[in-house]
Amino acid sequence: MAVNYYTQDEEWEADDWYASYDLNNYVEDVNTQLPFDVFALIAAILVIVGSIAAFDYVIGGSADYDFAQSISTDRDVEQEITLPTVPVINNPDSIIAPYDKYIVTQGVHGLSYGHMAIDIAAGKGAIIKSPIAGIVSDYYFDAIGNPTLVIENEFYRVTLLHGNYTVKVGDKLNIGSPVGTEGNLGNTRDMQGRSCRDRDCGYHTHLNVFDIQAGTNINPLDLIGS
């Protein structure tokens, strides 16, 4: 760009300059004034933007796919872990002890009155659980005052004695359902063989199991362990 310098004494007449300049012969050529091709630049920008969008789509799609795969895998693992199984104790031929922890206070006895029973104890007031899934078919006090609870299903008839029972005839029980608490009611004795009637001793559960399919009493220890 030319720069005109004038001395202080010189006078520049703008009107004269403007009048002498031939505007009709001056045509501004945009292409010659810019150092680059505008249309080429726009095309290049569009190509770059399109390439970035395509790359982002590919990467994003792959990430989404990996994430979906991860979710699917996690769900498969979760399903494998939480797949429901039918507990063995829900089978009608299953049987458990009336207590979680207990001691055997007397081995097999009761042949004289038609039992092959054992005596087990968990402590005064311990919760007694139904050994089987079934129905309360009988509940009575026998001739010598023993509270007698009978629970049965198609496989077993279980008889429990001496407890403070809280169920009634006709109640349907799941295996492990509470049926009462350990007591010393009826004909119970201490370690010296003395009667515990009206005394704080002799707490236990008399347990007899009758196998309905076989038609005979069986040793409860063969089913619940010692």
Condensed to tens digits (0 to 9), the pLDDT of residues 68-121 reads 454 444 444 444 445 444 444 567 789 999 999 999 999 999 999 999 999 999
Whether 91 is in a domain gets the answer no
Domain containing residue 5: 1-84
Same domain, yes or no: 117 and 75: no
Q: Any bridge partners for residue 178, and if so which?
A: 129
Counted domains in the chain: 2
Q: Any bridge partners for residue 106, and if so which?
A: 119
Listed residue (180, 91, 179, 178) closest to 133, CA to CA: 91
Question: Is the Cβ–Cβ distance between 167 and 156 less than 8 Å?
Answer: no
Same domain, yes or no: 124 and 214: yes
Q: Please name the residues in contact with 202: beta carbons below 8 A apart, sequence gap of 6 or more.
A: 184, 188, 189, 190, 196
pLDDT of residue 83: 44
- 171, burial (CB in 10 Å: exposed 0-12, middle 13-18, buried 19+): middle
Same domain, yes or no: 186 and 220: yes
Listed residue (104, 186, 203, 198) closest to 149, CA to CA: 186
pLDDT of residue 199: 96
Listed residue (219, 164, 159) closest to 186, CA to CA: 164
pLDDT of residue 92: 75
Same domain, yes or no: 114 and 74: no
pLDDT of residue 53: 61
Whether 97 is in a domain gets the answer no
Whether 96 is in a domain gets the answer no
pLDDT of residue 119: 98
Q: What is the DSSP string of 34-54?
A: SSS-HHHHHHHHHHHHHHHHH
Whether 184 is in a domain gets the answer yes
Same domain, yes or no: 15 and 70: yes
Same domain, yes or no: 188 and 113: yes
pTM of the model: 0.61
Which residues in the chain land under pLDDT 50?
1-23, 25-32, 62-63, 65, 67-68, 70-81, 83-88
Whether 128 is in a domain gets the answer yes
Domain containing 138 — which CATH number? 2.70.70.10
Same domain, yes or no: 129 and 197: yes
